[in-house]
C-alpha cells in the first residue's frame, strides 16, 4: 500500500471529503442483482451517495447491463437457481469489462442452497470485494460459524483473522461488518474501524446498504483522477463514511426504528455532501 492515494491507517477527513466529492462528480452506474427484501433501500442509498442505481436482474439483460456499469453488486439474500445463473453471467461479463464486482453472501451457511450458490459464484466470478457479517465471513473462511436465517449468531472476536484468511484465499478485499468493522486485503492490515452506531441494526437492510455503498465508492478505485488508488483504500473510506452516517442519524435522536431508518437515509445524503469536519484517522487501526 505504498501509493500516496492509498490511506492505510492515514485516512483523514480531507481524503474522505475528496473521495465522496469524486463519487458525486463521477455518478457511477452501480448495477445490482440483489434480494427482493431490500431493493428500495439499496437503490436509494446508492443514489444518496451520488451514484446511479440500476436493478436489471433479468437473465436476458443482466450480463449486458453489467458490462456497461461502473460497478456490480451481487446479493444472494433471496437468490433462486435462475437468479444465480444471472448473477454468474453478470459477474463474468463484469470481469471481462474490468468492472469491479462486490459480493454480499447473505445468510451463507444457513442452508445447503445458499452454500452451493455462493460457492458457485466464487468459483466462476472474480470478486473485488466480499462483504459479510461475522458469521458469513467466518463460514466462508472455513471456520465454524452460526448463522440463523440471515443473521450472525455468536462472538465477533477474532473475525479479523477470518477476514484476512478469506482475503488471501480469494484475492478480494473482505469487509466484515459488526460492532467494529474490519477491512482486510492488500499489502497491510487488516484494519479495524471504530465507526457506526448500534441503532444501524434496528432495521432490515443495513448490511445490504453497506454492500451498495462499497460498490458505489470502489467504482472509482484506481482511476487516474480518483483520490484513492486501490480497492482496499476505497473500501476503508466507504465503510468509514457509512458508519459516520449511522452516527449522525443517531445524534438526531429519532424516536423509533422507522424514524431512525429515515434519519439514516437523510444522514447518508448529508454525509455525502457535508462529511464531518473532525479527523477520522483515529477511528482506523491496523490489527
**Do 16 and 275 touch, CB atoms closer than 8 A?**
yes
131 is in an annotated binding site: yes
Spatial separation of the C-alpha atoms in residues 225 and 19, rounded to whole Å: 10
55 is in an annotated binding site: yes
**What does the block give as the cell for 282?**
483515529
Give the C-alpha distances (Å, rounded to integers) separating 24 from 209, 214, 269, 271.
17, 14, 11, 12
148 is in an annotated binding site: no
**Do 181 and 192 touch, CB atoms closer than 8 A?**
yes
CB-facing half-sphere around the CA of 150: CA atoms within 13 A: 18
E strand or H helix at 216: helix 206-218
Helices and strands, number each (H, E), in the chain: 10, 11
200 is in an annotated binding site: no
Q: Which residues are annotated as a binding site?
A: 55, 131, 177, 205
Q: Which residues are annotated as a binding site for ATP?
A: 131, 177
Q: Which residues are annotated as a binding site for substrate?
A: 55, 205
Amino acid at each position: 500500500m505504498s501509493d500516496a492515494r492509498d490511506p492505510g491507517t492515514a485516512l483523514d477527513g480531507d481524503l474522505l471529503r475528496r473521495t465522496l466529492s469524486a463519487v458525486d462528480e463521477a455518478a457511477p452506474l452501480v448495477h445490482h442483482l440483489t434480494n427482493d427484501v431490500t431493493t428500495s433501500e439499496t437503490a436509494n442509498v446508492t443514489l444518496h451517495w451520488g451514484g446511479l442505481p440500476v436493478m436489471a436482474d433479468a437473465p436476458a439483460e443482466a450480463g449486458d447491463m453489467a458490462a456497461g456499469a461502473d460497478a456490480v453488486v451481487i446479493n444472494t439474500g433471496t437468490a433462486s437457481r435462475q437468479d444465480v445463473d444471472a448473477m454468474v453471467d453478470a459477474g463474468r461479463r463484469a470481469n471481462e469489462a474490468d468492472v469491479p464486482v462486490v459480493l454480499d453472501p447473505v445468510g451463507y451457511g444457513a442452508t445447503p442452497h445458499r452454500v452451493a450458490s455462493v460457492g458457485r459464484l466464487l468459483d466462476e466470478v472474480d470478486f473485488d470485494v466480499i462483504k459479510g457479517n461475522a458469521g458469513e465471513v467466518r463460514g466462508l473462511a472455513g471456520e465454524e460459524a452460526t448463522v440463523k436465517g440471515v443473521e450472525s449468531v455468536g462472538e465477533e472476536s477474532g473475525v479479523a483473522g477470518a477476514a484476512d484468511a478469506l482475503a488471501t484465499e480469494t484475492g478480494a478485499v473482505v469487509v466484515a461488518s459488526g460492532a467494529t468493522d474490519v477491512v482486510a486485503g492488500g499489502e497491510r492490515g487488516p484494519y479495524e474501524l471504530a465507526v457506526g452506531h448500534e441503532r444501524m441494526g434496528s432495521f432490515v437492510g443495513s448490511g445490504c446498504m453497506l454492500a451498495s455503498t462499497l460498490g458505489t465508492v470502489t467504482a472509482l478505485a484506481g482511476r487516474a483522477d480518483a483520490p484513492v488508488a486501490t480497492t482496499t483504500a476505497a473500501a476503508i473510506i466507504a465503510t468509514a463514511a457509512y458508519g459516520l452516517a449511522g452516527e449522525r442519524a443517531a445524534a438526531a435522536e429519532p424516536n423509533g426504528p422507522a424514524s431512525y431508518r429515515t434519519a439514516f437515509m437523510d444522514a447518508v445524503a448529508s454525509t455525502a455532501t457535508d462529511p464531518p469536519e473532525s479527523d477520522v484517522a483515529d477511528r482506523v487501526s491496523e490489527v
